[in-house]
Amino acid sequence: MRALIQRVSKAKVTVDSDTVGEINKGILVLLGITHEDSEKDVDYLVEKIVNLRIFPDKSDHFDLSVTDVGGEILVVSQFTLYGSTKKGRRPAFNDSANPEIAEPLYNLFIDKMRKTGLNTSTGRFGAMMEVELINSGPVTFLLES
């Protein structure tokens, strides 16, 4: 499982011109799922994301988590995180999990993120989405389980 996370001052997801998810200060999570992923991967990444100290303290050091700053989470499914561009000019998505595997794990990730007490918004699994964000920093990390 891969999560590309970005510290944002705000972010939103629209589908067909309708806003389906929106947050203010917090973390945008682009979540990619592969065939071998399980609940163990979900647990690892949820715990890592909510406790990762990527927000500045008064001295401007990365010393506070999204939980510490009362931030929010926006989760967007992103199968292209497992796209391969090694051969040819068209990405291959052989390592991306099929929707039958990916969607339940995506929903489990959201459920577990909400159980942390953080306000959690989402995109729409499988939809063509437009994601707007203001990356604060910019601060971006790729996490893998």
Q: Over the stretch 111-143, which tens digit does the pLDDT of each residue have? A: 999 999 999 999 999 999 999 999 999 999 999
Contact of 41 with 31, CB cutoff 8 Å: no
Q: Which fold has domain 2-140?
A: D-tyrosyl-trna(Tyr) Deacylase; Chain: A; (3.50.80)
Instruction: Retrieve residue 1's tokens.
Output: 């499982």
- The overall average pLDDT reported for the chain is 97
The residues spanned by each domain of the chain are 2-140
Q: How far is CA 19 from CA 70, 97, 100, 142, in A?
A: 22, 26, 25, 26
Residues annotated catalytic, as ranges: 80
**What's the confidence (pLDDT) of residue 52?**
98
Q: What pTM was estimated for this model as a whole?
A: 0.96
Instruction: Retrieve residue 130's tokens.
Output: 């437009």
Instruction: Retrieve residue 129's tokens.
Output: 């989405």
CA atoms lying within 13 Å on the CB side of residue 117? 6
Render pLDDT for 53-74 as a digit per residue (tens, 0 to 9).
999 999 999 999 999 999 999 9
